[in-house]
Amino acid sequence: MAARDPQSPPPYALDRDTLEREVEIEAFRSTGAGGQHVNKTESALRLTHLPSGVVLVARDSRSQHRNREIAFERLVERLKRLNHVPRKRVATKPTAAARKRRLEGKKRLAVKKVTRGKVRGDE
């Protein structure tokens, strides 16, 4: 397992019970199609995950309960991305054969360019 960079954010918990304690939930009226129903019910949700500062909005469904599930699924996905620590890249040197191929390609290109020049003796 890769060591965590000390300047990276701390790993965030992904279990539902912990998330529900760390999240501030705000319900509001959703916009869009739905007519009178949309104007009367507060079915959209805004989740603010306080430790990370991530803010998510779910207004996909007309049901606040379904939007809550959707919002928590999105929050878990976002926190997984924040928890990810990329593996440290190990610098490598090119092999001798790779260096040789590179130099041969440069020499071929140099010969090609020399032949494009003026023909000697026809100045």
Q: What is the pLDDT of residue 1?
A: 45
Q: What is the pLDDT of residue 67?
A: 93
CATH of 16-83, one of 3.30.160.20, 3.90.1150.10, 3.40.50.150, 3.40.720.10: 3.30.160.20
pLDDT tens over the chain, length 123 residues: 455 555 665 688 888 888 889 999 999 987 766 667 667 788 899 999 999 899 999 988 888 999 999 999 999 999 999 888 888 999 999 999 999 999 999 999 999 998 887 776 655
Q: Whole-angstrom Cα distance, residue 113 to residue 92?
A: 32
110: which 2 tokens?
């140099």
- Give the residue from 66, 15, 16 showing the smallest Cα distance to 58: 66
Q: Whole-angstrom Cα distance, residue 116 to residue 123?
A: 15
pTM of the model: 0.63
- Is the CB of residue 58 less than 8 Å from the CB of residue 44? yes
66: which 2 tokens?
């379904």
What DSSP string runs through 55-83?
A: EEEE-SSS-HHHHHHHHHHHHHHHHHHHH
The counts of H helices and E strands in the chain are 4, 3
